[in-house]
Amino acid sequence: MSTLEAFGTSTRAVHDGERRHQTSDAITTPIHQTATYWFKNSEELRAYQEGRLDRDEYGRYGNPTVRAVERKLASMEHADEALLFASGMCATTTTFLALLPRGSHLILTRDGYRRTRQFCDEFLSKMDVSVSVIDPANIEAFEAAITDDTSIFFTELPTNPYLRVLDLPAAARIARKRGIKVIVDSTFATPALHRALDDGADLVVHSATKYLGGHNDLLAGAAVGGRKLIESVRNALGILGGIIAPNDAYLLLRGMKTLDLRMERHNQNALSVARFLEGHDKIRRVFYPGLASHPDYEVAGRLLRGFGGVVTFEVEGDYEATVRFVDRCRIPYIAPSLGGVESLIEMPVLMSYWDQTPEARRRFGITDSLVRFSCGIEDTVDLINDLEQALRAV
């Protein structure tokens, strides 16, 4: 747990996990660029093997730079421990493999990252794990989907791309009565906007590539939670080997220190963009939990300390009209991902679902005119002016 319990998230993000663990007078934690660690003698190795000496042995099992990030993230999430991975998908898949028994049952929401669903369909089925998919934010559907074999309920909060917000405390109460673990992908919220563990989740996972890193220059993932569950996942990581590199951990450590500041600007930009788009006659519909028109507006206002930097919307036109709009934007890059200081824009049908049939796209709500806009930290007025001029192409 935190060494700075009396302080806020931003103070913890700057100092915790490092201040009491420095081995030199440097303010910044160094990059420990090493694959292995040496022992002074055999007795020291024996003490390590018997748990009497806390240190590192081999890079797949730990690294001082990585440990600093893990301590910091655990503090920010109000958790016992955190564990870093090579990517967000690695965090999710390793956690599933570690915690889902053969023949068990998993519940997840329909609106969510496509690769997570693919892993469930293509790999968990080989473990005889059955999967039920429910509508996002539907507590009744969640309760109805529970069976005697249900082990895990997995949801994003908010979800991707429609930004649905589940009533997590209500779902957690149901899950706890049935002995079901609740895992929340908090990539879009981060601990700056929501601490899912405080609302009843058992584990939180992140694609730290996004807001935690914040600069579109690293790949990383994380799992955060209670000591017992994290140790189970840590043991699996030691076998599966999806570890983060020390240099990426250093970049992540640097990025996390400004998380609160960046999220304030992301929130401000996204809310302003969402309001502008909702009032524009070239936009059919806007999906943003900070708007009263969003189906989960009330729940989001109760759970979140801000509504995030992603705005999803439908252009009033067909595929070609939407392409003209996207191509005419001057500030955002056409690119996958989100959460960096640069604004990014994409059409999910083209970026993530181009290989799917129209029927499959419709099943997941992916239309030809759908756009996902990840607001960076540029000046708000510049983003709105750019969108306004681009919409003239529709």
| Residues classed as catalytic | 60, 113, 185, 210
CB atoms within 10 A of CB 224: 30
Give the C-alpha separation, 249 to 191, whole Å.
Answer: 18
Spatial separation of the C-alpha atoms in residues 326 and 27, rounded to whole Å? 43
319-328 and 380-391 are packed helices; what angle lies between their axes, rounded to 10 degrees?
140
Structure token digits, residue 205? 């996972």
Hey, how many other C-beta atoms are within 10 angstroms of the C-beta on 24? 7
Question: CB neighbours of 118 closer than 8 A, spacing ≥ 6?
Answer: none
Quote the tokens at residue 152: 């895990």
C-alpha span between 30 and 290 (Å, rounded): 39
338 contact partners, CB below 8 Å, separation of at least 6:
188, 210, 211, 309, 310, 344, 372, 374
